[in-house]
Structure 1
């Protein structure tokens, strides 16, 4: 499971339009570490997850990163939904795989709409 975090971090970075270098600068994580997580399958520790989620621009991915679930009505999305917004439009309709065969499931805690 921990190796999947590297793939997820790459999806987050790409969804935000960031290079590995810019991600390193924003988070304070060494670029070599980012490369290792994303491409070498090096396990991502909780301190790295904390550094990423400490940044406001990445908090919207917290639920997806930790549980594979999303709650668009609560502002919790996956990278695949990042550019659809959280206003209940397209974001709630999409619950598909996110590029790297990582499942995205609506949260059982998400508010259901009629």
Structure 2
């Protein structure tokens, strides 16, 4: 799996749009879009911004090393929202 595919899986797992990810981590939209589209390689600085953000930190080991360790909070995107669907409750 290529880095751009992993970035897309992370974003989709978090149910975000490209623009939302870029804004959350402080990256230029067009730059981030290029990373995810496979048109540009993510720089080390951009990677640091992404994986230092609390929302994306849990994917760091999977992204970089293809390793997960749920006991310490390192997961793959497919596990991110497994069984945690939000339910809306209506008050009567």
- Extract unaligned runs of 5+ from structure 1: 86-114
Residues 56-94 of structure 1 show CA distances to partners (whole Å, capped at 9, x for unaligned) of 111111110110111112211010111137xxxxxxxxx
**How far off its partner does 1:40 sit?**
3.4
CA RMSD in angstroms, aligned pairs only: 1.7
Unmatched tracts of structure 2, length 5 or more: 84-92
- Alpha carbons of 1:82 and 1:21: their partners in 2 closer, same or farther (altered >3 Å)? same
Work out which structure has the larger RCO, using CA pairs closer than 8 Å and 6 or more positions apart in sequence.
2
> 2:14: which partner in 1?
16
2:80 aligns with: 82
- SS at structure 2 position matched to 1:29: coil
TM-score by length of 2: 0.81
- Alignment CA distance shift 1:40-1:66 (3 Å): closer
Query: Paired residue for 2:58?
Result: 60
| Per-residue deviation, 1:5 | 2.1
TM-score, length basis structure 1: 0.66
Aligned residues: 83
- Paired with 1:41 and 1:68, the residues of 2 have a C-alpha distance of 22
